[in-house]
Amino acid sequence: MKFSVTIVFDNNCVIPEVKPEWGFACVIKTGNEMILFDTGNDGRILLDNLAKLHLDPYDLSKVVISHMHWDHVGGLPDLLQACPQSPVYLPASALEDDIRIIRRMCRAVIPVREAVEIAPDLYSTGELPGYAWEQSLIYKGNGELSIITGCAHPGIVNIVRRAQDMFPGLPVSLLLGGFHLHHTAPADIVTVYRELQAAGVKTIAPAHCTGEGAIEKCRDIFGDGFLTAGVGFNFMLT
Ligand SMILES: [Zn+2]
Ligand SMILES: [Zn+2]
């Protein structure tokens, strides 16, 4: 297995054993590393879901936070009690006070401003501007990209374009995460999905703040390329 991503916190579930709650978090495995991307809004639920999915937080090598909204960073204090060895990659625009508080709870805080390799073949887009400044993750393998977003406040199309600026010419084998389309007009949602298709997105798993209507529209437009996201979702590249 070269790469896998498992959703561990989301407002929907795809298996019965886990609990849904507003927010987002997923576990990424690449090389010998296991990385948590975001923490949801509640550390107890996060830790329970990890246990139900047989993922031990003590095995986490790194924690990456997409942006500083509570539904992505709220589980961090409880989580870090279970993995105090993990450095935490925060968007560089995080408030000084937040950085100071988190630094006391973990081995190190690493602010991310520019694109950077975080683990073997796993990259941060760097902070992109938006309603909240945000970083997304890109896995590059098998000549394709897998892109994982938190809320996509900088715009989901902008995030995919950034990834393809970093790695020109590569199609997107997976686009997963919150797309933040829950307040977007239906006609504009269709435009977004058409732009993603034109950019080479083959498989898509909208989660979290994409919005139920926009998720249904995604299923219509992508057909077999649509995957149902939620806690327990797993995608793997071998
Ligand atoms: Zn969110
Ligand atoms: Zn957000």
What confidence tens digit (pLDDT) does each residue in 62-90 have?
Answer: 999 999 999 999 999 999 999 999 999 99
- The per-residue pLDDT for 142 is 87
Domain segments of the chain as ranges: 3-237
Dihedral sign computed on CA atoms, order 23, 127, 6, 174: positive
Measure the CA–CA gap between 47 and 80, rounded to whole angstroms.
Answer: 10
List the structure tokens of 83.
Answer: 């993995």
> Cα(81) to centroid of ligand 1, in Å?
23
> Cα(71) to centroid of ligand 2, in Å?
7
Superfamily of domain 3-237: Ribonuclease Z/Hydroxyacylglutathione hydrolase-like (3.60.15.10)
Question: Closest ligand to 22 CA?
Answer: 1
> Cα(24) to centroid of ligand 1, in Å?
6
> Cα(20) to centroid of ligand 1, in Å?
14
Question: Closest ligand to 68 CA?
Answer: 2
- The per-residue pLDDT for 197 is 97
> Cα(100) to centroid of ligand 1, in Å?
23
Tell me: the pLDDT tens digits for 147-164? Answer: 999 999 999 999 999 999
> Cα(207) to centroid of ligand 1, in Å?
10
Tell me: the pLDDT tens digits for 170-196? Answer: 999 999 999 999 999 999 999 999 999
Residue percentage of the chain with pLDDT more than 90: 98
What is each CA distance from 150 to 26, 69, 102, in whole angstroms? Answer: 9, 10, 19
Longest Cα separation, the chain? 47
Measure the CA–CA gap between 20 and 127, rounded to whole angstroms.
Answer: 28
Measure the CA–CA gap between 134 and 42, rounded to whole angstroms.
Answer: 20
- The per-residue pLDDT for 54 is 98
User: Rounded to two decimals, what is the model's pTM?
Assistant: 0.97
- The per-residue pLDDT for 1 is 76
> Cα(1) to centroid of ligand 2, in Å?
31
- The per-residue pLDDT for 135 is 98
Average pLDDT over every residue of 100-119: 96
